[in-house]
Amino acid sequence: MPAPYWSPSVLGCIERDSFSLHPSNRTALTSIANPPIRSKKSDAAAPITATLQTNQTLAQWSAFKQWHRVDLACGARPFYIDLWLWDRTRRVRARFVGPWSASRSLYNSFVTQATIEIERESIT
């Protein structure tokens, strides 16, 4: 079964000014005996964390809740999303990190905030 897809028309568009990337470099210390050498290696495949915010109607917010709970098994499964990264739109594989939050801004409008983790291997 393919991974679910974030559809902007169903789940809401991500606000451009709210989206920010937070790259992380995971490092590991290794030690080799005879002669003892300590080195630090970086993991180039470390995921990129991104924060985002969407303005959703009541219908989009309800669809998002159901999509997150049913299709993503409360955020345990990954999904595909089209993001503008660097110079073009790229379809990347991501998953939610931690809980998302939503607050009502108007009677029929919600502001949803979330943090996602983008797999570097999916960025082509």
pLDDT at site 104: 92
Q: Are 90 and 124 in contact (CB under 8 A)?
A: yes
Torsion 8-97-55-120 (CA) sign: negative
pTM of the model: 0.78
Structural domains in the chain (count): 1
Answer yes or no: is 31 within a domain: no
Closest to 112 in 3D by CA, of 32, 12, 31, 34: 12
Establish if 1 belongs to a structural domain.
Answer: no
Continuous segment of H or E residues that includes residue 60? helix 58-66
Q: Is residue 32 part of a domain?
A: no
What pLDDT does 48 receive? 87
Q: What is the pLDDT of residue 100?
A: 94
pLDDT, tens digit (0-9, with 9 covering 90-100), for 51-104: 999 999 999 999 999 999 999 999 999 999 998 888 888 899 999 998 999 999
Q: Looking at the domain assignment, is residue 13 inside a domain?
A: yes
**Binning pLDDT at 50, 70 and 90, where does residue 3 land?**
confident
Per-residue pLDDT reduced to its tens digit, 33-57: 666 565 556 666 778 899 999 999 9
Domain containing residue 116: 8-26+38-122
Asked if residue 118 belongs to a domain, the reply is: yes
